[in-house]
Amino acid sequence: MAIEIPEARKVGMVSLGCPKALVDSERILTRLRADGYAMSADYAGADVVLVNTCGFLDSAKEESLAAIGEAIAENGRVIVTGCMGNEAELIRAKFPAVLAVTGAHQYEAVVEAVHEAAPPSQGPFVDLIPQPSDADIKLTPRHYSYLKISEGCNHACAFCIIPQLRGKLASRRIDAVLREAEKLVAAGTKELLVISQDTSAYGVDVRHEERTWKGRAVRTHMTDLARELGQLRTPEGHAPWVRLHYVYPYPHVDAVIPLMAEGLITPYLDIPFQHAAPNVLKAMKRPANEAKVLERLKSWREICPDITIRSSFVVGFPGETEEDFQYLLDWLDEAQLDRVGGFRFEPVAGAAANDLPNPVPEAVKEERYQRLMEKTAAISAAKLAAKVGRTLPVIIDEVGEPDEDGDIGATGRSQADAPEIDGAVYLRNVPAGLKAGDIVQVEIEDADAHDLFGVIA
């Protein structure tokens, strides 16, 4: 007698916000697949839709609410999770039909809500089959992966509500992080992007406890983590790129620069400076050591000349004067940062900065933002122009189709470029066998303000 196995229930996912939220989405979907759910690529085929929200800025909240509204309109059965989950009353008032609301990285609560909304339909026979534990779902391309090492943050920056959304710093066990990294590299990851709210503070909450890894003791500390990640090898025997994000410039950051010079980790640091003027940094409740930072940048470049420093800056913070802003521009002339992102200050409900005096008019914010972008674009253009004629390693993200002459183009990134946020390297006349994830040597032929252009050497 033939036994009919019930069709798996399907879950759709809309993931908004930062890479840390993307990792949360991957973990939720991995748990659900282990429970027998299938994934749906569209609203129509989903039994329930998850919306992983961002609540960092008011504009992000508006985007999240719009996504919830679209999911309600297109499917009707919606569960909300993520950083906006702490505003459940607002969400339920606007969308009474929402089935459940949970907060950031509350995996168990999300899975339980899905079970309730669309009970798993594996049946008694399928339940006897062991579910795979290694086949994690990835929402990024196969060749790069985000590696989240901690949750939360101990800082009290005036413009930020992350500690309210995600709590205090909670570091993952270093052996668990390294095991995940090893598994990702074995499965095809060529580039690991280390993320957290404060990568430099990794392990502070557990007093940098030691764990055993590969028969030796390793501390729960950024330097030990970087050194161990530098020992990983792909199945082909190559070292993966290891990129450090959200690094606050604590003194111990100096210790990872020699690891970059030795080739153990990618010579790239993402440091959220946010501003340089002492008055603004004080109002932001951030350390005002901009002069010392310039000295350290100089010493880092002496140790590792190819190091790339990326950062982001907020303009129009309450109380920012024209003198403060000019100080920032002058500081950038000195710092010569490689990659810079700019943001106009935006009040967010619950942030201490909302109560500060002397708000900057929107027109002034916009004018300063444009000047910041002009300044940083000029610095970037000069730095990229200096790379013309060099041969650089490039990881391929996408290979195009042949044009009418049969020529194939490709898009990749140098070690100075993180996915989604930095520039790209555009290649001409690549071989037909080239594929995403390949790392090739590229001769740089041209540059503009943000991108490089070249051909495989």
- How many Å apart are CA 25 and CA 18, to the nearest integer? 11
In a domain, 15, yes or no: yes
Whole-number pLDDT of residue 232? 97
For residues 243 and 271, is the Cβ–Cβ distance under 8 A? no
pLDDT at 167: 82
Q: What residue has token string 């520039």?
A: 423
Q: Sign of dihedral through CA atoms 243, 246, 252, 253?
A: positive
Mean pLDDT of the chain: 89
Average pLDDT over residues 373-396: 97
- Domain, as residue range, for 412: 391-456
The pLDDT score that the predictor gives to residue 186 is: 93
pLDDT at 340 over 90: yes
Residue 124 has pLDDT above 60, yes or no: no
Which tokens go with 12? 């759709």
pLDDT, residue 122, reads 55
Say what percent of the chain tops pLDDT 90.
67
The answer to whether the beta carbons of residues 258 and 264 sit under 8 Å apart is no
CA torsion, points 186, 141, 201, 53, in degrees to nearest 10? -140
Let me know: does 342 contact 369? Beta carbons within 8 Å: yes
Give pLDDT, residue 104: 78
Residues 441 and 421 in one domain: yes
Is residue 129 over pLDDT 50?
Answer: no
The dihedral formed by the CA atoms of 93, 95, 99 and 103, expressed in degrees to the nearest 10? -70
Same domain, 344 and 219: yes
Backbone angles phi, psi at 246, to 5 degrees: 55, 50
Identify the CA nearest to 229 among candidates 187, 188, 194: 194
Collapsed DSSP state (helix, strand, coil) of residue 321: coil
Contact 147, 179 (CB under 8 A): no
* H helix or E strand, kind and range, residue 366: helix 362-385
Residues 176-222: tens digit of each pLDDT? 999 999 999 999 999 999 999 999 999 999 999 999 999 999 999 99
Q: For residues 9-17, give the mean pLDDT.
A: 90
Least confident residue range of 153-167, 200-214, 436-450 = 153-167
**Same domain for 90 and 196:** no
CATH of the domain at 447: 2.40.50.140
Q: How far is the C-alpha of 149 from the C-alpha of 226, rounded, in Å?
A: 11
Evaluate if residue 358 carries a pLDDT over 80: yes
- pLDDT at residue 4 greater than cutoff 60: no
Q: Is 399 within the bounds of a domain?
A: yes
Residue 215 shares a structural domain with residue 267: yes
CB 9 within 8 A of CB 47: yes
131 inside domain = no
* Alpha-carbon span 236 to 212, nearest angstrom: 26
CA distance 410 to 401: 9
| Same domain, yes or no: 241 and 270 | yes
pLDDT of residue 32: 87
Q: Could you tell me if 187 and 311 lie in one domain?
A: yes
Residue 130: the pLDDT is: 40
82/56 Cα distance (integer angstroms): 11
pLDDT at 136: 64
| pLDDT beyond 80 at 1 | no
Examine residue 139 and state whether it is found in any structural domain, yes or no: no
Residue 287 pLDDT > 70: no
Amino acid at 247: V
In this structure, what CATH number is given to the domain that contains residue 92? 3.40.50.12160
441 and 330 inside one domain:
no
Q: CB–CB of 235/211 below 8 Å?
A: no
How many other CB atoms are there within 10 angstroms of residue 164's CB atom?
13
Contacts 24+ apart (CB under 8 A), 87-96: 87/55, 87/61, 91/65, 94/65, 94/68, 94/69, 95/68, 95/69
Same domain for 252 and 334? Answer: yes
Per residue in 55-79, pLDDT (tens digit) is: 877 788 889 999 999 999 999 899 9
pTM for the full model?
0.80
Please state the domain count of the chain.
3
Helices (H), 236-361: 257-261, 278-284, 290-303, 322-335
Dihedral angle sign, alpha carbons of residues 223, 227, 232, 237: positive
| Tens digit of each residue's pLDDT (9 = 90 or more) over 215-252 | 999 999 999 999 999 999 999 999 999 999 999 988 89
When pLDDT is cut at 50, 70 and 90, the band that residue 126 belongs to is very low
284: domain CATH number is 3.80.30.20
- Whether 302 and 365 map to the same domain: the answer is yes
Whole-angstrom distance, CA of residue 445 vs CA of residue 286: 41
| Same domain membership, residue 333 and residue 214 | yes
Same domain membership, residue 297 and residue 158: yes
pLDDT the model gives residue 357: 86
Q: Are residues 279 and 376 in the same domain?
A: yes
